[in-house]
Amino acid sequence: MLAGLTLGLSFCHLMQLPSRMGWDQYLWVGSTVQGGLYATFGSVGAVIFVATVIALALLAYFVREHGRPGFRLALAAAILFALALVLWWVLVYPVNVELAKWVNGPVPADWTAYRARWEWGHAIISFVELAGFAALIASVLADTPPHAEEPPKGASRSTRPRPSRRG
């Protein structure tokens, strides 16, 4: 669930990119910097993002211990979401530091360069998270038994009596 929430926040940026790249200075700066449109993306989203990376790392660790086939995919999911977090610090955070100066200060003449770095940085992160989410889903599918009657490796059979096959 955490991975889905993290991807959802990122995917919002990706879906908005085509429109937002055409916005003029007043609309883009007004909504992004001064309007507080993304305030909860930073506060709540950051907690969810870090929790996602931790949860996926733990998942990979525990799946490894049981020798399940989805281990490599779970590990890939953890690595890709961790990479997305690193990319946020490298691509987006420096722009956020600059944007914070624009709240009460002047907007530089080259504001479109900052807009491009901010928007495309989020887009790159979204694609990395999408790959991580796909790896996570594939890891679950790899560990799903092919028949409902067969319990997963290490699980006990149900004690419920099966219905009689007699007429």
pLDDT band at 60 (very low <50, low <70, confident <90, very high): very high
For residue 148, tell me if it sits in a domain: no
Q: Is residue 72 part of a domain?
A: yes
* CB of 66 closer than 8 Å to CB of 107: no
Average pLDDT over residues 82-101: 96
pLDDT of residue 159: 56
In a domain, 42, yes or no: yes
Q: How much of the chain, in percent, has pLDDT values that exceed 70?
A: 89
**Number of domains forming the structure of the chain:** 1
- In-domain check, residue 155: no
What is the pTM assigned to this prediction? 0.83
* Residue recorded with tokens 């096959």: 165
Print the domain residue range for 109: 2-142
Among residues 55, 50, 41, which one has the least CA distance to residue 8? 41
Whether 37 is in a domain gets the answer: yes
**Between 160 and 118, residue with greater pLDDT:** 118
Q: Is residue 157 part of a domain?
A: no
Share of the chain above pLDDT 90, in %: 70
**What pLDDT, on the 0 to 100 scale, is given for residue 152?**
66
Q: Are 132 and 80 in contact (CB under 8 A)?
A: yes
Q: How confident is the model at residue 41 (pLDDT cuts 50, 70, 90)?
A: confident
Average pLDDT (36-56) is: 91
pLDDT band (50, 70, 90) for residue 161: low
- pLDDT exceeds cutoff 90 at 85: yes
Residues 6 or more apart whose Cβ sits within 8 Å of residue 59: 74, 77, 78, 139
Is 165 inside a domain boundary? no
Q: How confident is the model at residue 167 (pLDDT cuts 50, 70, 90)?
A: low
In a domain, 15, yes or no: yes
More confident residue, 38 or 16: 16
